[in-house]
Structure 1
Amino acid sequence: MLLVARALASRFAALAPLEKNRIEHNLKAFESTMTGKIQAWEQLARPLKGRTVITQHASFGYLWLWLGITPVADLEPKPGIPPTPAHLAKTLQLGQSKRPMAIVIAQHQDPKPAKWLSGQMSNSPALLILPATVTDVQADAWFRWFDLLISRLVQAAP
């Protein structure tokens, strides 16, 4: 987001040179807020590093990479394809051996396979149904979305 913000600020300043000072001021404020939030999120998420999850699709792939979480199985046998009973059985077997901290799906995905899997696993991983994007248009929505994602993941970690 910092790279995007910097590129946008540069372009906006070129398009509206009379607004350059205000654009640069807003960019500095955003950079300061973002830097503080990143530090806070990384501190909060430290216990997640090295943990595993079962996921559906690659909706949160950027988050796994950033936080050091390893997805050990995907509920979809192929992107966009609902899991078959055979695939769920294989995922259950893999989940029993890898002992993920959570099964994570996006809120627009069918929760039935994830609920079934969670109920079948002996270590009873948390089932997290997370929003895949911001859900409102308030100025701080993006920050609140990351606050929610990280806090829910941390709560799921035993």
Structure 2
Amino acid sequence: MSYTRWFVITLLLGLVSLPARADFQVFACEPEWASLVREFLPDARITTATSYLQDPHYIEARPSLIAAMRRADIAVCTGASLEAGWLPTLLQRASNPAVQPGRSGLFFAAEHAQLHAPHDHVDRSMGDVHPEGNPHVHLSPDQLPTIADALARRLGQLMPEASSDILARYIRWRGGWSQHRIEWRRKAEALQGRSVVIQHTNFSYLLNWLGVDTRFELEPKPGLPPSASHLSQLLAAPGLKGVDAILIASHQDPQPANWLAKQIQKPVLVVPGTVADSDQTKTLAGLISTLVNTLAATVQEDSGGRL
């Protein structure tokens, strides 16, 4: 169903619906999905398994998370093997039939996106590579509306008494996202052709969308921590000193980035890789705005020009 048809149906329904269940339980594997669910179901009870200070690849299936999964009406996760090291154990120990694979209560965002860099063949020599592709799709300005659409529909299926309200909130969210996207695209003009060093592919969807070059990486292979030998090789790479900054996520060890920054006299930008606690980054739109503004300010300072 197209966005226009969603809008027409909302008008026909007159935004009339019964109050949503206050006890609807949501298990979100990552903060970005907790934030997106809250856009559509602000009164839902949400448990988030990870934070912006954690690497979502590696967490413990601790008892509190098992209990939360056992109570969940829906589990919203990234998929694409991002949680492969802990989610299957969590689902098994929770023994909640509503959120098992193949059931409507288990939602994987990656299943509603076109992932970058999929691999037909994966082995351990390649590092921590996801065969389905880069799972960090929450920072894709173009793909988030499709994921949000699918999530709103799924929530409406599970809570038919609140489906009209969910639809209305989705439409408002979609309109706001479109306005943000216009502003991000405007600021992207100053970032075209710029270059940053990254540690992992956390930010690749957004950086590619902005036209920022990400050829230099602190990791020798995906998921492997930066090593002294790799950093030495990286330091000798042609074009490295032309980068504008070194960009890492809040949960990543800053030492390798700081070492390289001293060698090439470039700033280190430490930013959250997902929604965080501050007012500026508590939503996905706010997070992307913060990332874009941080990059734009760095480029402006480096060039001495104005955006």
Q: TM-score, normalised by structure 1?
A: 0.87
Q: d(CA) in 1 for partners of 2:200 and 2:240? A: 21
Closer/same/farther in 2, CA of residues 88 and 28 from structure 1, 3 Å limit:
same
Letter in 2 for 1:130: V
| 1:6-25 pair list within 5 angstroms | 6-25=149-168
Q: Distance in 2 between matches of 1:83 and 1:23?
A: 44
Give, as a single letter, the amino acid of the residue that structure 2 aligns with 1:49: Q
Say whether the 8 Å CA contact 2:276–2:282 is kept in structure 1: no
Identity between Structure 1 and Structure 2 (%): 35
Kindly indicate whether structure 1 or structure 2 has the higher relative contact order, using CA contacts under 8 Å at least 6 residues apart.
1
Alignment match, 2:270: 129
Q: 1:147 aligns with which of 289, 295, 306?
A: 289
Counterpart CA distance in 1 for 2:210 and 2:189 is 8
| CA distance, structure 2, for counterparts of residue 63 and residue 24 of structure 1 | 27
Aligned ranges for residues 15-94 of structure 1 at < 5 Å?
A: 15-94=158-237
Is residue 145 of structure 2 the alignment partner of residue 2 of structure 1? yes
User: Which residue identity is paired with 1:116?
Assistant: W
How far has the Cα of 1:10 moved from its partner?
A: 2.3
Q: Choose from 89, 110, 123 the match for 2:253.
A: 110
Query: Which runs of 4 or more aligned residues in structure 1 lie more than 6 Å from their structure 2 counterparts after TM superposition?
Result: none
Tell me by how many angstroms 1:84 deviates: 2.4
RMSD (CA atoms): 2.1
Structure number with greater Rg is 2
Distance 1:137 1:109 in 2: 19
Between 1:6-15 and 1:66-75, the stretch displaced more is 6-15
How many pairs does the alignment contain? 156
Preserved CA contact (<8 Å) 2:275 2:282: no
Give the structure-2-normalised TM-score. Answer: 0.47
Q: In the TM superposition, what is the alpha-carbon distance from 1:132 to its structure 2 partner?
A: 1.0
Q: Which runs of 5+ in 2 are unaligned?
A: 1-143, 303-307
* More helix per residue: 1
User: 2:236 aligns to what SS in structure 1?
Assistant: helix
